Amino acid sequence: MTPDAGTSAALATSHVLKDGDTFVVCDGVGDIDGGSTGLFRDDTRVLSACRLRLGDTVPALLSAGVTRDNVVFAAHLTNRALPPLGGTTAPQGLVHVHRTRFLCDGRMHERIVLTNYGHQPVTVPMHLEFDADFVDMFEVRGVARAQRGTLQPAQGREAGIAFAYRGLDAVQRESAVAFSRTPDARDGRRVAFHASLAVAGRWELYLEVGDASDLPPSRARHREAAARARRRMRNRSRRGARVRSNGPLFDAWMRRSRMDLSLLTSELATGPYPYAGIPWFSTPFGRDAVITALQVLWLDPGLARGVLGFLADHQAQEESKFLDAAPGKIMHETRRGEMSALRELPFGLYYGGVDTTPLFVVLAGEYATRTGDMAFIARLWPALVAATAWIERVCDANPRGLLDYARGESTGLSNQGWKDSEDSVFHADGEFPPGPIALVEVQGYAFAAFRAMAMLAGRLGHDAQAAQWCQRSERMREAVEAHFWMPSQGMYGIAIDGRGVLCEVRASNPGHLLFVGLPDAERARSTAAHLLSRDFDSGWGIRTLAKGQARYNPMSYHNGSVWPHDSALCAAGLARYGDRAGAVALLRSAFEAAVNFDMRLPELFCGFERTQGAAPVAYPVACLPQAWAAGSPFMLLQACLGVSVDGFANELTVDRPQLPVGIDEVTLRDLPVGDDRVDLVFQRVGGRIGVFAEGRGAARIALRVLA
């Protein structure tokens, strides 16, 4: 690679920070410069340009990255040849530029430090250019609008610039840039500082971007805000158990995944909530949050509690075709941007996900089992009953008793399972099916939801309801086995269309049936064999669609790509039916993929066959980080270790554990069990895995190890 090509690649690398409902995406030198870069708040880009130039040139990039705790972005830069400006010409590589940035309380804080390593004094002409376009996130994603509001001229201030936009929703959106020094020159949105540097001299500038503030940036404000941001991130990352092993690289993967979840988690009034992903989905999503909470439930049940509380508070109360809402449904996503406020799109509070409602109920049941916290379940009970009633109404209206979907209006999502792209459901010949559509994995979620409600109702003393829901779960199991099984292929089809015709397509969706435990043992084994075959297993993870199927494309979003969360759910399903070796193999694939993605699994990547010496192929617009991708390593590890927690009995069970390949010891530190915490240690001794509990709570917790 030539130096110029390398520089271009480094500049193109995106770096992200997030704090609450604010996030920033920048390039390698720290610039915000169009495309998907920007400072975003409440689904609106409040800063669309932030460019640093030395003279008229982009500084040369030495290195850039985000600190391990995901709080601070830091770029090390140097000058290209500088023109004389009241001093001598500075050759390239004499001035070091250290640019650091973090977010705190909705504001972007930045520090720029120049240091002269030359042998003569030099004056550095540094220019900064800013802009704010206030476009909606959906505009950034490519949605065109017929009209926009009024973008007001930028207003220069003594030590800053103010931007404003009045939207068509009559909301005034503002942002302001403030400097710790008064610029030496300004030209509209561009300011200049002439930094005079003695030999070994140092010059620094602090700037902030946020709402207008009378307090100017300063070193003291910067340090205090940085300490606050780090303290908050540290507190988020300390929730739940921590994974430690004898493998440094494996630990780095676990640590990076944990810190990404901490980055994406916002503290809402109802508790912690993982936003789906940056940049496109940095907002509460229902399905994504529920699955993320399920992935880490064994380590951190507090996240599930926060997710359940928020989703219950935003449960639909009335019918709306535009919002795909009906009483009892759980939301798909919520947005705060102008386009959603104006109902140009339905996503302000949108309910177009057929699977989110049963998954909500499933999470409640799993949370109760994990913690024994029936007091919280009792408070949720009206929401759980309403959610289950919606599932029942839809199933009762389907001639086969299935949970199906059809969007209310053309503005909604045409497909409403987790594979929600327009081309993700089709027949064996590639023909798109008429609706309503009943997806195979959604029936599994409904089966598990009825079973969860039966368990919870029994514990709350509602015996008649418990019996009814137990019967419904079995009826759903029978319906799936009767209508989705493909005898000629030994696997379940992906969906049944509105004519009652099965879409005889081999996709990864049936792996989720294994996760909830619906199939009988024989069909589970057959399905697992398909998932682990070369048609599905790329060597980096399970493809969403088997090779050879109509519409298979390893570069597509849902028709042949690899989604880490999908592979993790399939691995958990394999382990549920006793195939821990299959789970170990999938964990190894995911780990080796993560090594090629800087220890951070993306939302998805291409499904090309793994070849010797080659890396997995990135999907160009995948979210990174993304919540259920970051949660996947923990679900994969649980599938290998066979750990489950019974919060009612205060009991830990370890069922036929296997350690990851190359790892001889894993410790779960401070694993919460009831009111106690315990360290659970796994050690490879010869050909066996030893398991024992340590810590102050170990004597009060029952540990069962199944060989």
Residue 654 has pLDDT above 50, yes or no: yes
For domain 3-233, the CATH architecture is Distorted Sandwich (2.70)
327, 386 contact by CB (below 8 A) = yes
In this predicted structure, what is the pLDDT of residue 212? 82
Contact at 8 Å (CB) between 328 and 157? no
Q: Distance (Å, rounded) from C-alpha 164 to C-alpha 491?
A: 57
**Cβ 159 vs Cβ 216: under 8 Å:** yes
Buried b vs exposed e over 261-272: b needs ≥16 C-beta within 10 Å?
bbbbbbebebbb
| Residue 180 DSSP symbol | S
Peptide bond into 125 cis (omega under 30): no
Q: State the pLDDT at residue 8.
A: 42
pLDDT digits (tens, 9 = 90+) for 334-350: 999 999 999 999 999 99
Please give the pLDDT value at position 89. 62
- Would you list the domain boundaries of the chain? 3-233, 238-641
Say whether pLDDT at 198 is over 90: yes
pLDDT tens sequence across 45-87:
999 999 999 988 999 999 999 999 999 999 999 998 876 654 5
Q: Which CATH fold would you assign to the domain 238-641? A: Glycosyltransferase (1.50.10)
- What pLDDT is recorded for position 83? 65
The closest alpha carbon to 423, from 273, 314, 557, 289, belongs to 557
Give pLDDT, residue 6.
Answer: 36
Closest by alpha carbon to 47, among 23, 64, 67, 13? Answer: 23
Express each pLDDT in 405-429 by its tens digit.
Answer: 999 999 999 999 999 999 999 999 9
Average pLDDT, the chain: 94
Query: Exposed e or buried b for every residue in 134-172, given b needs 16+ CB within 10 A?
Result: bbbbbbbeeeeeeebbebeebeeeebbbbbbbebeeeee
Per-residue confidence (pLDDT) for residue 84, from 0 to 100: 61
Residue 10: pLDDT band by 50, 70, 90 thresholds? very low
What's the confidence (pLDDT) of residue 487? 97
How much is the pLDDT for 90?
A: 66
Q: Which of 211-220, 240-249, 586-595 has the lowest mean pLDDT?
A: 211-220
- Res 88 pLDDT > 60: no
Res. 535 pLDDT band, cuts 50 70 90: very high
The tens digit of pLDDT for each residue in 369-405 reads 999 999 999 999 999 999 999 999 999 999 999 999 9
- pTM assigned to the model: 0.95
Is the torsion defined by CA of 225, 108, 236, 378 positive or negative?
positive
Asked if pLDDT for residue 274 goes beyond 90, the answer is yes
- Residue 696: count other Cβ atoms within 10 Å of its Cβ: 10
Percent pLDDT > 90 in the chain is 91
Q: For residues 485 and 508, what is the distance between their CA atoms, to the nearest angstrom?
A: 14
* pLDDT score of 11 more than 90: no
Contact 32, 50 (CB under 8 A): yes
> What's residue 2's pLDDT?
29
- State pLDDT tens for residues 552-592: 999 999 999 999 999 999 999 999 999 999 999 999 999 99
- pLDDT tier at 3, thresholds 50, 70, 90: very low
As a whole number, mean pLDDT of residues 138-163 equals 92
Task: Give the Cα separation of 464 and 293 in Å (integer).
Answer: 30
The closest alpha carbon to 101, from 112, 91, 90, 109, belongs to 109
Output the pLDDT for position 213. 79
Q: What is the mean pLDDT of residues 93-113?
A: 96
